[in-house]
């Protein structure tokens, strides 16, 4: 049996046929600070900066929430889950927009948290805005490692944002970044790309991963019809389960819900084992 203490370290005592084996306690390295009354740990994994916030008392099975972007924004669901014994994790790869190289860095972080610190096999993913690209692409590559996905005004197709190839405003600078980090030689190659989350939902549906999408129906930055709406239609066609929470007349901001209870309950219900 393994237990994770409130400071986020692993210490286990195994007794089998009279043989006692004790694993060394391993604390999170790096700097510690206060985060809404909980201990925040800042350190590095495979050369990338990461954040882990530890609960006072870890829930059985060591469940955790993993943020794509933007960690610390609208923290009420995180605070509620910390009180339930969940850890909160984040990796700083902001400029990679969910590209395959970002998925690789996330793989490194996953191995570190589950292998070295005993985190649950399945993570609850949270994708705000561009964070949707990170969460969805990593989940599609690792469907057996995901308990659920909560997306909020999420980008699910980079042609919509930052490409601006639909009804949205787009972002010229971020579109240029997409071409660079995904390795496209031409813009046309990016437009014809079929590796966006909206194109690759089958692995999630087969793994029966529940989705929750919160969106503003007046979002002109990440138009919901081109992102959440398309995901919802296709996911249902594949037999997947998706819950939609519409915010009438709301644009891209503010994210979240005034009462985050539906978000918290959605994550708590998911099977992380």
How are strands ordered across the β-sheet holding 242-247? 31-35, 38-45, 48-54, 87-91, 64-67, 123-128, 146-152, 211-216, 242-247
* pLDDT for residue 1: 36
Q: Mean pLDDT of all residues in the chain?
A: 91
Q: Is 170 exposed, middle or buried (0-12, 13-18, 19+ CB in 10 A)?
A: middle
Cross-strand pairs, 31? 42
Do the Cβ atoms of 44 and 105 come closer than 8 Å?
no
* Backbone dihedral angles phi then psi of residue 2, each to the nearest 5 degrees: -120, 140
**pLDDT at 11 > cutoff 60:** no
Domain range 29-269, CATH class: alpha beta
* pLDDT for residue 12: 35
* pLDDT for residue 252: 96
* Backbone dihedral angles phi then psi of residue 179, each to the nearest 5 degrees: -60, -40
Distance CA 227, CA 9 (A): 39
Burial letters 213-247, b for 16+ CB under 10 A, else e? bbbbeebebbbbbbbbbbbbebbeeeebebeeeeb
Kindly state the percentage of the chain with pLDDT values over 70. Answer: 90
Distance CA 193, CA 52 (A): 34
Do the Cβ atoms of 151 and 132 come closer than 8 Å?
yes
Average pLDDT of 197-203? 98
**pLDDT at 202 > cutoff 50:** yes
- What are 74-131's pLDDT values in tens digits? 999 999 999 999 999 999 998 999 999 999 999 999 999 999 999 999 999 999 999 9
Is the full-model pTM beyond 0.75? yes
Kindly state the percentage of the chain with pLDDT values over 90. Answer: 89
**pLDDT at 59 > cutoff 70:** yes
Neighbours of 112 (CB within 10 A): 18
**pLDDT at 161 > cutoff 60:** yes
* pLDDT for residue 27: 87
* pLDDT for residue 18: 31
Band (pLDDT 50/70/90 cuts) for residue 233 is very high
| Domain extent listing, the chain | 29-269
Band (pLDDT 50/70/90 cuts) for residue 41 is very high
Beta strand ranges found along the chain (DSSP E): 2-4, 10-16, 19-22, 31-35, 38-45, 48-54, 64-67, 87-91, 123-128, 146-152, 211-216, 242-247
């Amino acid at each position: 049996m393994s237990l994770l203490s409130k400071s986020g370290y692993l210490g286990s005592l195994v007794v089998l046929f009279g043989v006692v084996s004790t694993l060394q306690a391993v604390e999170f390295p790096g700097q510690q600070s206060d985060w809404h009354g909980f201990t925040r740990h800042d350190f590095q994994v495979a050369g990338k900066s990461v954040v882990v916030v530890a609960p006072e008392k870890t829930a059985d099975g060591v469940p955790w929430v993993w943020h794509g972007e933007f960690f610390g924004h609208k923290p009420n669901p995180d605070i509620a889950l910390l009180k339930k014994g969940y850890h909160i994790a984040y990796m700083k790869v902001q400029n990679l927009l969910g590209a395959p190289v970002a998925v690789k860095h996330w793989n490194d972080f996953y191995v570190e948290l589950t292998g070295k610190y005993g985190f649950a096999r399945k993570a609850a993913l949270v994708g705000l805005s561009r964070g949707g690209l990170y969460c969805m692409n990593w989940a599609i590559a690792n469907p057996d490692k995901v308990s659920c996905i909560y997306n909020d005004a999420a980008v699910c197709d980079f042609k919509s944002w930052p490409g601006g190839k639909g009804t949205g405003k787009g972002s010229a600078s971020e579109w240029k970044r997409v071409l660079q980090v995904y390795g496209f030689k031409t813009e046309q190659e990016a437009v014809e790309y079929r590796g966006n989350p909206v194109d690759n939902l089958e692995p999630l549906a087969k793994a029966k991963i529940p989705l929750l999408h919160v969106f503003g129906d007046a979002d002109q930055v990440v138009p919901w019809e081109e992102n959440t709406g398309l995901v919802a239609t296709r996911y249902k066609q594949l037999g997947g389960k998706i819950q939609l929470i519409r915010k009438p007349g709301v644009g891209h901001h503010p994210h979240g819900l005034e009462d985050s209870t539906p978000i918290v309950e959605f994550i708590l219900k998911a099977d992380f084992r």
